[in-house]
Chain A
Amino acid sequence: MQGEGVNAKLGLPAAVEVALAGGTSGESPADRWLIAVRELASHIVGSGDVLAIAVPVENGPAANVRLLRQWALAAADVMVAAGDGTFVAKWAPAWSLEPLLAARFRLLSVAETEPKICNMFSEIDEIDWLFVELVDAIARTRLERVEDSAAAPDRPYRVMYRGESEVMAAWLRALIAKESTFVADGWLVAKTVRGGLAQSGWAAMEWADRSGRPFYEVAFALQAPPPDTPTADWVLEFCVRHRFSGKLVPLSDWWRQTARRWRIEGDVLVAPDAWILPKLREAARHCPQIADALGRPAPSYVEIPVDDVYPLLVQSIPSLVAAGFYVETPKVEQAGDIRVRVLVRQARGGRDKRAVASAGQQWLDAQQLVDFDWSIVVQDRELSQQDFAQMVAEQTPFIRVEGSWRLVPIADILRELERLGLRSDHKATVLDLSRTIALAQESQDLALDVEFATEAAEVKRVVDVFTHALHVPAVEPPYGLRGQLRHYQAHGFSWLMHLREIGCGACLADDMGLGKTVQLLAYLLKLKEEKAAQGVHLLVCPTSLLANWRAELERFTPGLRVYVHHGALRDLDAALAAGKVDVVMTTYATLVRDLDSFLTRLFDVIAIDEAQNIKNAGTKQAQALRMLKGRHKVALTGTPVENRLEELWALMDFLNPGYLGTLAWFRRTFADLASGDKDSASDIARLQALLRPVLLRRRKTDPDIQTELPEKWEVDERAYLTAEQAAMYQAFVDQLFTGIGAGAKAMSRRGMILSTLVRLKQVCDHPCLISGGAPSLRRSGKLRQLMDLLRIVVEDGECALVFTQFRDMGEILCDTMEAEFGVRPQFLHGGLTARSRGEIVESFQNGRDPSPILVLSLRAGGVGLNLTRANHVFHYDRWWNPAVEDQATDRAYRIGQTKDVQVHKMICAGTLEERIDQMILSKRELSEAIVSSSQEWVTELDDDSLRELFALTPQTVFEEDDV
């Protein structure tokens, strides 16, 4: 053996020393073995796994090894004496690295089985001494210095035994010098050597273990059948695996050994069944097939029928791996790049029966039925629907791609197909298909390729138009429209035109105040101007909004002729017989009542306002609306979903029956939406994608919208009087003119007029201010309207100020709001001390007040306060002087306000409130001059003007059951 100082006399068996001294030719087994031993020694030194030892000089190699092992295992207080005398210092392998121990195990095994090696030693323990000698020799050639770690400066101070420092110094010298012997106290030497050995591999169980347990583990290898027999059984083979080389050896080899010694690449495992069988038993708990095999002789593999491979791969093997077993599987990776390929063949003649209501004659409508095929494409390998169904039925989700097996995640695909709503009957409406495509665009799991056969080119056009519904072509607004559409309103108008073109119902769900009304009116007017309307339009709204709609129609689209089907004198047939009506307006309640009259007609556009009124599909209103026949359905709402997701489904079921699938499918697909877990985010994205083409929603907070909105804008909110209010109102007007007609004196006349003025205002607010009784919602149209509006404000998380000039009305407002929202707003009025007012303002402004609404008396709360928490201001009753209202409005619209402010002026339609409002609007300059200080000017009007001002216009009264 050449090199690295191993020629020194090593104290080894003579045969070994001769072999080493004579050099190694590498031609004999012993030579090969000795080379390997020397290499291992070199690795030991190279890795620093070296330990200083000392043994009595008189001992032989085997005795030394036994002594070292004894010391290693000895308890700290039971020291094997070494006597006093001369010791020889050596660098020994510490065997603290398992790979080095594994190498030792192999060399020992080879030596035991190869007689030519075995014969060089009289005892096997001598081999361990050979390692010591070689490590010592190599270590000394590489040694730079030796450090006594007990003397290191960072070690805590310790009182040394007598003579300890001399012994350590002598030992240390012997470890460096050529002369490796030293004289020392045996107890001290033994104690110190034991300290190192006890922490080393000499004390480990692995050192003496011959079963191979420390270096091998039970492993499994799953083997796929050959490519030409894909349905043959798979095989799970039981193996042992070398922990460091990774070599796998089948367990069948063990069962063929005649004795309980298993030779693996030179290692000899003695009675390895002592650890292999318990490990198999442990594995059997994770894999029932292994348990079955263990009940039969010589368990070495188990055949897995192809139907059972999937559960094995997704359950048993992950469980085995989690338990620490090594499992080699063929390249059964999860297949990537999975897509659904849909081939749309042609349009059929039929239409979906669900959509009878929207019979139309456009070139190809959304309810047209189409034929299609779908298939699953996995990494360029196409599985027909039948192939896939078979795979699902047999639970064999494997395909072979480019020579290796791929696991097809059928559960995921099935779930995705269900979500996409791909039906197995190969039929769908264009709308269904478009929905599928829209959903797939948001799917991160499954791509969708849609191809259209040549004969289905028309279908493709509709689908394209539909799936790009947001990129609608701009349409010129109607020239007859009074006013300018804002940019987003012009888009909404064009979008309505576009959806009409493709025969698809539309839900315009802009925030309150963004002008849904004007967008719809522009749309209806455009249809008239283009002569595109194929009949009259029907507009259904809550009774409380009827007045608003009339006012908006007159204001923006005077060119549209309106018939309001409401009130005792209503007669739809008569009104339409003359053919001079463009729009029929009615309320939900009237519609239900007169449903038969409506059902006989085919409307052009059926528009519903406050569409949340049909959120419950089972109500009479919703059922009645679904029965109506119209070419295009439009829903306006600021809150498409108030409480439950099903409300959205009900709304869509009116607009586009079947678009959100069946209610059961919809519930199933979006069940997680409300859960708030991680799945709900993707569900929300899916639902948004699904609705994007048919639901247009813009928020006031959208940056694009905000730039277009004024910072403060005023909206007239019109309400009808109830019958009680109207009767009372008329009585006061009659009373006034009777009084005046009786020739009242000038002062008396003024007094009567002013008094009536106040009373009429009170009647408009709430009749109980005059006649007493319960301050219920039913009795006041205006109060009802206010509560409808406040509900939207509160649901949007915004805050409002409500001004009234009557203190009693303020209390009624507070009572009503408490009943409605569960928390009583504070009421700031002149009867409070300055301090109380300050506290109310502060608690509202800093949010301590739990109510999002603050009620104020106009006089007490109109000036000097800072209430920027609110961005809605309601003027419950009108003040003649706009400046007073503006001042009140400025409580919210002032420095510190971060949102846009909406000012809602509550007006009772057909009353003096409306008349004065018009007067102020039309003659603003004049009115400013007139009304600048008081309402005295009213008393100066002549009787005719006064009559005109006070008179109650007919058809502005709630019907009793409109509530």
Chain B
Amino acid sequence: MKKSVLEPFWRPVWNAVDKARVRKARQEAKAGAVVHVELVRGEIWAQVRASGPRRSCQVALPLLAHYEEHIEAVAKWLAMRPDWMAAHFAGEWDPEYVAFLKSNRLDVLPDDSVVDKLRWGAKCTCDDSDPLCVHVLTALLHLIWEADEHPLRVFRFVGLDEELLLDAAHGWTARWVRSTKADSRGAGATDPTTDPIEQVTDAVSAWNVAIWLKGAGTNPVGRLVPHFRTGDRME
């Protein structure tokens, strides 16, 4: 397993709870106990499988900050750096991206107040009296590891969904391209026609499946093998 980029930032939390509890949460998260995560009304909701009669627990984690109103600004940062988005899709952390998050003190990375934030804001449907129960820690580790694998998901901690962010970044880029001379090379290159007949005609006349198939061969699949009159048994 790759070394986690984000886990060290959450060290205050690991230090604040019993080590056995963290170890248990780590095992559960690794075993895939978190089956669903979504952003709901300013919180991160997670469904965590639980042992015992209670089949699963519903966990709610407080956001580190609320960036929902600032999605356009974040999208612009990303749009300016397609290489960060490329790294995100490739499952890697661009060093400059990390440096950017740190140097701008973005709230996606926790500070020392995170423990209090969690104690006050984390909720779980389990019976544990400690708000930092195993399920909360499991959900937290799951979120951290997902962000390790998909760096833009770190913005979930501030209320921004990855897909919405990507859509917004793309939207910003499109507006920027259309409004600047950067579009001079591509302008009008492939503006699709609006006539539906032409669109379909273009779509189906631009291909020639026979040519695409040239040289392609296949072996029969399935138990019942057809033999066609042309003699071309599936070979």
Q: Which residues of A contact B (CB under 8 A)?
A: 27-29, 32-33, 35-36, 39-40, 43, 45-53, 91, 94, 96-100, 102-103, 106-107, 109-110, 113-117, 139, 142-150, 168, 171-172, 175, 192-193, 195-197, 199-200, 235, 237, 244-245, 247, 249-250, 252-253, 255-260, 263-267, 271, 273-275, 277-278, 280-282, 284, 291, 294-301
Contact = CB atoms under 8 A, between A and B. Distances in A.
B204 A32 contact: yes
A301 B187 CA distance: 13
Contacts of A257: 170, 174
A273 B85 CA distance: 9
A274 B89 contact: yes
Interface in B16-75: none
A281 B87 contact: yes
B209 A50 contact: no
Contacts of A109: 203
Nearest to B178: A256
B140 to A, nearest CB: 26
B80 interface: yes
Nearest to A192: B223
Contacts of B83: 281, 284, 291, 294-295
Interface stretch (B1-9, B105-113, B226-234): B226-234
Contacts of A103: 207, 209, 212
Contacts of A110: 199-200, 203-204
B81 to A, nearest CB: 6
B224 A265 contact: no
Interface in B77-125: 79-83, 85-87, 89-90
Contact of A50 (B204, B223, B234): B234
B90 A99 contact: no
Nearest to A151: B223
A47 B89 contact: no
Contacts of A142: 228-230
Contacts of B192: 263
Given A146-B226, A256-B186, A281-B83, A273 B221 contact: no
B222 A253 contact: no
19 contacts: A29-B200, A32-B204, A43-B209, A94-B218, A96-B219, A97-B218, A103-B209, A147-B224, A195-B222, A195-B223, A245-B206, A245-B211, A249-B190, A255-B174, A260-B167, A266-B200, A281-B83, A294-B82, A297-B80
Nearest to A48: B234
B86 A43 contact: no
Contact of B203 (A171, A265, A277): A265
A109 B203 CA distance: 10
Contact of A297 (B79, B186, B204, B225): B79
A149 to B, nearest CB: 5
A99 B197 contact: no
A266 B199 contact: yes
A29 B196 CA distance: 6
Given A48-B235, A250-B189, A297-B173, 10 more contacts: A36-B204, A48-B234, A52-B225, A147-B227, A193-B222, A200-B221, A280-B82, A281-B86, A284-B83, A300-B185
Contact of B189 (A245, A253, A275): A253
A258 B167 CA distance: 9
Contact of A295 (B81, B186, B225): B81
A252 B213 contact: no
A15 B113 CA distance: 62
B203 A116 contact: no
B199 A278 contact: no
Contact of A298 (B173, B189, B234): B173
Given A49-B234, A146-B226, A266-B200, A97 B89 contact: no
Most buried by B among A35, A264, A280, A298: A298
B217 to A, nearest CB: 8
User: Considering residues A28, A143, A147, which has the most beta carbons from chain B within 10 angstroms of its beta carbon?
Assistant: A147
A116 B196 contact: yes
Interface of B: 79-83, 85-87, 89-90, 166-167, 170-171, 173-174, 176-178, 182-183, 185-187, 189-190, 192, 196-197, 199-204, 206-213, 216, 218-230, 232-235
Contacts of A94: 218, 221-222
Rank and list the top 9 A-B pairs by shortest CB-CB distance, nearest first.
Answer: A266-B203, A252-B186, A196-B222, A48-B234, A99-B212, A277-B86, A281-B86, A36-B204, A244-B212
Contacts of A107: 204
A839 to B, nearest CB: 71
A27 B201 CA distance: 10
A280 B86 contact: yes
Nearest to B94: A281
Contacts of B185: 235, 237, 250, 252, 300-301
B202 A266 contact: yes
Contacts of A291: 83
Nearest to A257: B174
Contacts of A171: 224
A132 to B, nearest CB: 14
A97 B216 contact: yes
Contacts of B85: 273, 277
B206 to A, nearest CB: 5
Which of B202, B222, B225, B229 has its CB near the most chain A CB atoms (within 10 A)?
B222
A235 B201 CA distance: 33
A96 to B, nearest CB: 5
Given A265-B203, A273-B170, A297-B79, A48 B232 contact: yes
B202 A265 contact: yes
A258 B174 contact: yes
A52 B234 CA distance: 12
B210 A43 contact: yes
Nearest to A147: B225
A48 B224 contact: no
A260 B173 CA distance: 11
Q: Which of B190, B192, B207, B228 has the most CB of A within 10 A?
A: B207
A145 to B, nearest CB: 5
Contacts of A114: 196, 199-200
A250 B89 contact: no
A245 B207 contact: yes
B190 A253 contact: yes
A48 B86 contact: no
Contacts of B218: 47-49, 94, 96-97
A299 B202 contact: no
Given A47-B218, A196-B221, A259 B82 contact: no
Contact of A150 (B89, B182, B223): B223
B225 A149 contact: yes
Contacts of A43: 209-210, 213
Nearest to B213: A99
Nearest to B89: A278
Contacts of A36: 203-204
Contact of B224 (A52, A144, A301): A52
Nearest to B215: A99
Contacts of B234: 48-50
Contacts of A259: 167, 170-171
Contacts of A237: 185
A36 B171 CA distance: 34
A253 B233 CA distance: 44
Contacts of B200: 29, 32-33, 110, 114, 117, 266
A40 B226 contact: no
Contacts of B232: 46, 48
B235 to A, nearest CB: 7
Nearest to A150: B223
Nearest to A39: B209
A131 B82 CA distance: 39
B223 A100 contact: no
A94 B170 CA distance: 36
Interface centre among B89, B208, B225, B226 (most CB of A within 10 A): B226
A115 B174 CA distance: 25
Which of A27, A32, A139 has the largest count of B CB atoms less than 10 A from its CB? A32
Contacts of B177: 252, 255-256, 297-298
